[in-house]
Amino acid sequence: MRRTQYVPTTDWLPLDKSPFLMRVVILTDAAQVARRAADVICQCVNKKPDAVLGLATGGTPLGAYRELAERFSRGQISFSHCTSFNLDEYVGLPVSHPESYRSFMDRHLFSLTDFASDRCFLPDGNAADFEQACLEYERGIAEAGGIDLQLLGIGSDGHIAFNEPGSSLSSRTRLKALTQQTREDNARFFSSIEEVPELAVTMGIGTILDAKQVLLLATGSGKASAVRAFIEGPVTSQVPASALQLHPHVTVLLDEAAAAWLVRRPYYDHVESIQRRLEQATKAPSEG
């Protein structure tokens, strides 16, 4: 009997969204992760030029920011109508300190693109009244219409933003004390661990879960254990990123090293191949 290949119908497929709620994409290296992350961000901004972007700091998103800056300089993308809200900020560092997250964002993204400086928000790490400042940050996000796309890295202990293990899964923007592990991990950006602030203001896990779409990046072997725990372990406040299992639209981009501990790896690759077939089938013939 002659077998014909099964071709799924695609009429039901939303073009801008995977039908799989948590899409786990495993790529060869960090450079590919950066390019794919930039693709997802550009797709969001092309579709909605006044998109509200949730932005992240740390070493992981740097490649994606470089890629966005290059695409901007080639005239391929503009952020002039976007608004951005960063995840977090250290408490007590002057804004002008090179390791404040404001300085980081200016250096690696804002000054290299056309983001409007009066629409790039970060939590205030030097507020006179933190409770009030955190409420205002939440209000600002709501008044902007909510976050369309939230970019995330992940800490080696599974934290997202500065929501350390044990953070309430419904937490909102607030002060958090950093764990010793996080301070050690981030000490590489300072001259010594003593210089790493002990406190930060961070969006809560509840704030992050309210974003319409989430894009989490993880690269390198130091993230393999956290990646396994948040994707394949139980939803628990002990692994804050595991709360993303409850979110309806998450894309996780991993390099081989970060994906190394995933037990269900063959399944993710299989689902991804279906996803790519669906995308191919829904492309207009001119798109190739």
The residues carrying an active-site annotation are 88, 157, 159, 164
Determine if 155 is a binding residue for ligand GLP (CB under 6 A): yes
Determine if 88 is a binding residue for ligand GLP (CB under 6 A): yes
Q: For 161, left (φ over 0), alpha (ψ -120 to 50), or beta?
A: left
Determine if 60 is a binding residue for ligand GLP (CB under 6 A): yes
Closest to ligand GLP by CB, 239 or 271 = 239
Report the 10 Å Cβ neighbour count for 193: 12
Three-class DSSP category at 224: helix
Stretch that binds ligand GLP, among 8-16, 50-58, 124-132, 273-281 (CB under 6 A): 50-58
Rounded to 10 degrees, the C-alpha dihedral 183/123/31/288 comes to 150
- Please state, in angstroms and rounded to a whole number, the distance separating the CA atoms of residues 229 and 261: 9
Determine if 58 is a binding residue for ligand GLP (CB under 6 A): yes
In the block, tokens 């994606």 appear at 64
Choose, by CB under 6 A, the member of 45, 161, 239, 243 that binds ligand GLP.
161
- The site map against ligand GLP for 264-283 (x = CB under 6 A) is --------------------
CB 26 → ligand GLP: shortest distance, Å? Answer: 18
Choose, by CB under 6 A, the member of 86, 167, 182, 237 that binds ligand GLP.
182
Single-letter amino acid, residue 236: T
On whether the CB atoms of residues 36 and 254 are closer than 8 A, the answer is: no
Binding footprint of ligand GLP, residue count (CB under 6 A): 14
Rounded to 10 degrees, the C-alpha dihedral 217/218/219/222 comes to 160
Closest to ligand GLP by CB, 182 or 213 = 182
